[in-house]
Amino acid sequence: MAQKARRAPQTHGRWVALTEKNRVKLFIFSPIAARRRFCNTPCFSATLSLCHSLSKQKGGRNHCGKRYTKRIKKSYWPTTCYPDGAIVLKRNAVIDKLFALRAKHSLYWSAKRMIMVDPQLDGAALRSKGASFCAKEVILAQSKVEELVDLIEEQAQLIIVPDHTAVVLDDITLDDSTLERYGKRLYVIGDVTVPEQGDAWTGLEYLNVQGDITVPQAHKDALLSVLTEVSGEVKLARPKGAVLENKPFVKITKWMLEQQPTGLQVSDCAMVQIADDIPKQWIVERLHIVDCAIVKCSEALEDAVTMICEDVGSIGPVGAGEDQSIGGTINAVLGGIQGVLDTKVINAVQYVL
């Protein structure tokens, strides 16, 4: 009779599973003590328990060997499966000269992409060691295609970039310091901002942006002349004058826009109220609201306000009888002040635990 595994104590650690034919050893690593439990149940049950535990701690995304694919797909937790026996790398794995020196006779797998643009990467060394690669997409330098392409699984999407291209895994601004760091050939996995001052970016030889580009109107044509590819949108940057941010309540008045002819940007505020006497033309030309929860305005101004809002949860007129005081505003945004001190409130477009 199979021995029933005892219930694991509550810990702040993680589960690690090691498969041995039909036995699964479940290890619980705790800050207090490391305890080991043996389970004689089939791999299916134990693997599901493992996935359930991991899904709570890793945002609901798990990795498992392909031999368990059909079984795990029956569960309710999102699962990514990798080839049996493969060495799992980071989601954005960089394959460079150092990697080639330490490579083994194995299949290397990444859940997202692999980057192979190092000029000193020795493809012959990888081949002699028996290394191979599997990922959704692989970014390859032009000169490395012939010596590396047959080491990559056929289902991978190949992205060929010019030699000496820097792959940037972040949002960037195309200023002098960025170009000094990365050079004149860029493959950017993120958003790109073109500054109003400076023109160092006009010397770019290659620019591929996997995201959005924000550019001032005056520089748009020059940017398009050097832009190789963009997966997102090319957005026009609004004139940025004064900035109001991180406030629970902001009221925009006509006087404020009179004092800021170059523009006023309001960001990361819970509630923004627009005064009724502000001309529509001033709202369109001088006001920009981004990443705010609620924007209140008169019905006559609603169309103009909608044009200048970005990533705003709600836009609309103030309701009849609605409490417009600061206390009433906090109540409207937070759903009641009771218990706010014990509540974590997040105003964000995207939030990752």
Task: List per-residue pLDDT tens for the chain, 353 residues long.
Answer: 444 444 433 333 333 343 333 333 333 333 333 333 333 333 434 444 444 444 444 444 455 555 545 444 444 456 678 888 899 999 999 999 999 999 999 999 999 999 999 999 999 999 999 999 999 999 999 999 999 999 999 999 999 999 999 999 999 999 999 999 999 999 999 999 998 888 889 889 999 999 999 898 888 889 999 999 999 888 887 666 788 888 999 999 999 999 988 889 898 899 999 999 999 999 988 899 988 999 999 999 999 999 999 889 889 886 655 555 555 655 555 554 444 445 565 656 566 66
301's CB contacts (< 8 A; 6+ apart) are 274, 276, 278, 280, 283
Instruction: Give me the pLDDT at residue 200, please.
Output: 86
What pLDDT, on the 0 to 100 scale, is given for residue 275?
94
The predicted pLDDT at position 263 comes to 86
Cα four-point dihedral sign 332, 352, 264, 209: negative
Q: Which of 267, 335, 258 is nearest to 295 (CA)?
A: 267
Q: CA–CA separation, 105 vs 127, rounded Å?
A: 9
**pTM passes above 0.75:** no
What pLDDT score does 160 carry? 96
- Determine contact, residues 47/68, Cβ cutoff 8 Å: yes
**Residue 204 tokens, joined:** 């770019």
Within 102-241, strands assigned E span 107-109, 113-116, 132-134, 137-141, 157-161, 166-168, 172-173, 185-188, 192-193, 206-209, 213-215, 229-230, 234-236
DSSP strand pairing (14-20 vs 23-29): antiparallel
Q: Which amino acid appears at position 336 of this protein?
A: G
Collapse the DSSP code of 278 into the 3-class scheme (helix H, G, I; strand E, B; otherwise coil) and give the result. Answer: coil
**Distance between CA 269 and CA 313 in Å, rounded?**
11
Contact 89, 114 (CB under 8 A): yes
In the chain, domain spans: 14-82, 87-161, 166-236, 242-342
pLDDT at 114: 97
Please answer whether residues 233 and 240 qualify as being in contact, where contact means their C-beta atoms are separated by less than 8 angstroms. Answer: no
Question: Pick from 146, 191, 184: which is nearest to 165 by CA?
Answer: 184
